[in-house]
Amino acid sequence: MAPTHSLTARPTPGHAPVNTAVSPSQRGYDPEEMAWSTISLAGEEVSAAAEPLRNENLFRLVERRSQRRKDKMAAATAQDAPGKQLSKQQAPASRREKEPAKPAWKPKPLPKFHPDDFVVVLKPRSAVELGAIFQPGELALSLRTYLGAQLAADFSFVLSLEQNLIPASTQNAYVADRILGDFVMNFAKGDVPLHGHLKQGDEEVSYGVVSIANHETSETLKGSIQWRQGTILDIGKSGTSNRARLTFAGKVKPRTVLYNSEIITVRPYLRTIPSCGLCGTVGHRVDTCPNPNQDRCGLCGLHAPFVEGMRAPHECNAKCAVCGGGHATNSRDCAAKYRTLTKLDARKGKNKNPAGKPAKRQPEHIAGTSGDSPRRSDVNWTRAAPTGRAEKQGAAAPPPPPHGGQGNPSRSQQQQTKRLSPGNSWADIVKHGKEGSMSTGASTSTSPPSSPSRSAADSELLNLVASLKAQNEMLLAKIEAIENQSTPPPQSSPHAEVMESEAAAPATLESSFNAF
């Protein structure tokens, strides 16, 4: 268990830090009392780091965490009070309504620190690659030498080669205070200036973005922006833009703040993908670029040596390393610069047809509006009553598609042909011949009323009848050829021949159709 320190004074902004009275203590779990308790270490040797905290944000963070621990202890004491029955069962987890949007970029996984640790991110102030400036183990030795053996015992860090950063963690506020701000580390290859930035816990703060004047700086904004209902922990201007990020204490983000007595709107803060416009790569930002003078053009990504402070002439067309668009990397116009999709982008993506999925087929009465087939309301579907042998034989199979005839009717036209001319069966063609089939087909079709609105339907029906006539002529010629090649029937009496011919007509027709 690491010792914690209770601070009793708060430094005043703009003045020298106030000497805080530090009472060393150790927090642990007491098995006899079955509760967490704090043990005073006043009799033991006081740590050499008992100094006032320089960083105001760190001081406020220590106060908030101390108050949060007190609130948790008070809540635990109230729950364990005698005579109060509390349920030990956890509430069922709520089912998510929507799946979270998948991020477009993720950093390489790093070891996670304890939630109660103070996390400080160290960034190089010069264009240097941290993975190549020191030997293995040299960085750890330099940091331990800078902090001292006693403070370095409660200190840990990890090197992120992708982002060219050094995230460090400690449970001692005085160790975090030593590495905040600007300091210089000594290595075998030279001195490297570093800058320590305190990372606020996401469960303790909230962020927002406001628009400011271009001449403002991070220092001048601290006296210009106010939030009367809460506390603004940090204000940082985003590069050379006219926007600043505000860090609020707590999870409640205000809708408006005061900027030089003017009420301005606070917009949501969206994390962006770290990208560098100097070398044209994704993973680190411009201020931590390890090699801005490499032989690759950061604007187009082509190989162009950097000689005597100038890039070699080449055909340069801007190409973004994040989205592949025709703009520079880390541009403000990049639509894919955010780590997660916004609600508007997710809503737009649902309306698009995903790649590889076939489009839905429209019904025939909707898809046929281009004039390929008449609408159902334009056709008279009244059937003519079947007469003669067609009524006894019933509906026959439709004729096969032509192999060399004129016209190629569509599927909808063939369906209309069945319904309009049910009497044009094979039996009618054989029995009545060409003229009978034509007259039957003509008798079964009804003419639509003569109106200008149905002229298109009439012309299509006439074309359909003409194509069917050509098909019937071709089929009759083939049937006659098949009958001429067939063997003559056996001799019999006239009376029997008449009876057999009437019974064998459908069978002969069926065999001819199969042969065809």
Q: Is the dihedral of CA 316, 321, 325, 331 positive or negative?
A: negative
Contact (CB, 8 A) for 372 and 410: yes
Which whole number is the average pLDDT over 429-457? Answer: 52
Which whole number is the average pLDDT over 20-33? Answer: 57
In the chain the first and final C-alpha atoms are separated, in Å, by 96
Alpha-carbon span 104 to 139, nearest angstrom: 32
Alpha-carbon span 380 to 447, nearest angstrom: 8
pLDDT band at 362 (very low <50, low <70, confident <90, very high): very low
Residue 427 has a pLDDT of 53
Residue 262 has a pLDDT of 92
pLDDT band at 50 (very low <50, low <70, confident <90, very high): low
pLDDT surpasses 50 at 264 = yes
Q: What is residue 338's DSSP assignment?
A: B
- Cβ neighbours around 186 below 10 Å, total: 11
Phi and psi for 105 in degrees, rounded to 5? Answer: -145, 140
pLDDT digits (tens, 9 = 90+) for 403-438: 444 445 555 555 544 444 444 555 555 555 544 444
Alpha-carbon span 211 to 243, nearest angstrom: 5
pLDDT band at 346 (very low <50, low <70, confident <90, very high): very low
C-alpha angle 96-102-106 in degrees, rounded to nearest 5:
130
Q: What is residue 453's DSSP assignment?
A: G
Alpha-carbon span 189 to 228, nearest angstrom: 50
Residue 211 has a pLDDT of 92
Tokens of 430: 């054989």
pLDDT surpasses 70 at 140 = yes
Helical (H) or strand (E) element with 411:
helix 411-420
Which of 115-119, 168-172, 237-241, 462-466 comes out lowest in average pLDDT? 237-241
Q: Is the dihedral of CA 305, 311, 317, 318 positive or negative?
A: positive
Which has more confidence, 362 or 151?
Answer: 151
* Single-letter amino acid code for the residue at 204: E
Alpha-carbon span 429 to 476, nearest angstrom: 8
How are strands ordered across the β-sheet holding 243-249?
Answer: 232-237, 243-249, 205-211, 267-268
Residue 255 has a pLDDT of 92
pLDDT band at 311 (very low <50, low <70, confident <90, very high): confident
* Chain mean pLDDT for the chain: 68
Which whole number is the average pLDDT over 290-309? Answer: 74
Contact (CB, 8 A) for 421 and 355: no
pLDDT surpasses 90 at 257 = yes
- Count Cβ atoms within 10 A of the Cβ of residue 185 and give its class: 0-12 exposed, 13-18 middle, 19 or more buried: buried
Residue 454 has a pLDDT of 65
Residue 487 has a pLDDT of 55
Alpha-carbon span 56 to 13, nearest angstrom: 8
Alpha-carbon span 213 to 509, nearest angstrom: 95
- Count Cβ atoms within 10 A of the Cβ of residue 448 and give its class: 0-12 exposed, 13-18 middle, 19 or more buried: middle
pLDDT surpasses 70 at 305 = yes
Which whole number is the average pLDDT over 148-157? Answer: 86
This prediction's pTM: 0.45
Residue 263 has a pLDDT of 93
Contact (CB, 8 A) for 337 and 322: yes
pLDDT surpasses 80 at 146 = yes
pLDDT digits (tens, 9 = 90+) for 98-119: 555 444 567 777 788 888 888 8
Long-range contacts of residues 106-115, Cβ cutoff 8 Å, at least 24 apart? 107/160, 107/162, 107/163, 107/274, 107/283, 108/160, 108/162, 110/158, 110/160, 110/167, 111/158, 113/156, 113/167, 113/169, 114/169, 114/171, 115/201, 115/203
pLDDT over 70 percentage in the chain: 55
Which whole number is the average pLDDT over 285-307? Answer: 75
Domain-wise residue ranges, the chain: 3-74, 205-268, 389-445+459-484
pLDDT surpasses 50 at 489 = yes
Alpha-carbon span 298 to 300, nearest angstrom: 6
Which has more confidence, 183 or 415?
Answer: 183
pLDDT surpasses 60 at 516 = no
Tokens of 270: 């969206």
Contact (CB, 8 A) for 276 and 284: yes
Alpha-carbon span 295 to 161, nearest angstrom: 20
Which of 130-134, 202-206, 432-436, 475-479 comes out lowest in average pLDDT? 432-436
Contact (CB, 8 A) for 297 and 304: yes
pLDDT band at 398 (very low <50, low <70, confident <90, very high): low
Which whole number is the average pLDDT over 459-476? Answer: 88
Residue 320 has a pLDDT of 85
